Amino acid sequence: MDKSENQKNSSSTADRDIFERLRKGETILPNDPQAYRMIEASYNTKKLLLQMNNASDPKEVRDLLSQITASEIDESVAVFTPLYINYGKHTKIGKNVFINFDCTFLDLGGITIEDGVQIAPKVSLLSEGHPIAPDKRHSLVPKSIHIKKNAWIGANATILHGVTIGENSVVAAGSVVSKNVPDNVVVGGTPTKIIKKI
């Protein structure tokens, strides 16, 4: 491929919406011409988070979370604030979900929380990472997180980008999950391993 073709390809990539590229799992380089939009979006989300995290009425919390996620939050969802989200529009939350105090969602890579999921205090869902190589480390690598039906994420657990938590599975408190968890198991530790089947 000659130089002009390279420039054409990189320019066509940069012309596409950065949030669409993030959702598709494309790495965003630090010099991306649309990178500023991620910071702008985070500050806009922060304004809504300030309102939501100071609200005491459950309906108001759900309404503000609906605005943050740009999707309807069902009345069966309970969120104990504060909740911290850096973008919001790549987070999808099912029905009968419970999110306890002080959780952090970095969702540029996408977070899906299915029906019946329970999330304990201080859980971090981090759908974003960076390359290990120092010269590439400022690039953003988005990979979606998927938490399937009836999973329970224990207090202070961290779910890293690209991880799926299986249906009915339990992540023990304080765990760091860097690999997919199958259905119907309990996992724990850093990194996590299967402790038992349910």
What is residue 40's DSSP assignment? H
With 0.75 as the threshold, say if the pTM is over it: yes
Give the pLDDT of the chain (198 residues) as one tens digit per residue: 444 444 444 445 657 999 999 999 999 999 999 999 999 999 999 999 999 999 999 999 999 999 999 999 999 999 999 999 999 999 999 999 999 999 999 999 999 999 999 999 999 999 999 999 999 999 999 999 999 999 999 999 999 999 999 999 999 999 999 999 999 999 999 999 999 999
Rounded CA gap, 144 and 165, in Å?
Answer: 11
* pLDDT at site 2: 47
As a residue count, the chain comes to 198
**CATH number of the domain at 18-197, please?**
2.160.10.10
Number of neighbouring beta carbons within 10 Å of residue 75: 10
Set 130, 138, 146, 161: catalytic member: 130
CA 162 to chain centre: 10
Cβ proximity of 63 and 83 under 8 Å: no
Rounded CA gap, 186 and 53, in Å?
Answer: 31
Tokens of residue 172, six digits: 């023990």
On the question of a cis peptide bond just before residue 33, with omega within 30 degrees of 0, the verdict is: no
The ranges assigned to domains in the chain are 18-197
Rounded CA gap, 174 and 122, in Å?
Answer: 9
Least Cα distance to 153 among 126, 179, 182, 174 occurs for 174
The helix/strand/coil state of 73 is: coil
Rounded CA gap, 79 and 35, in Å?
Answer: 30
Question: Could you confirm whether 130 is annotated as catalytic?
Answer: yes
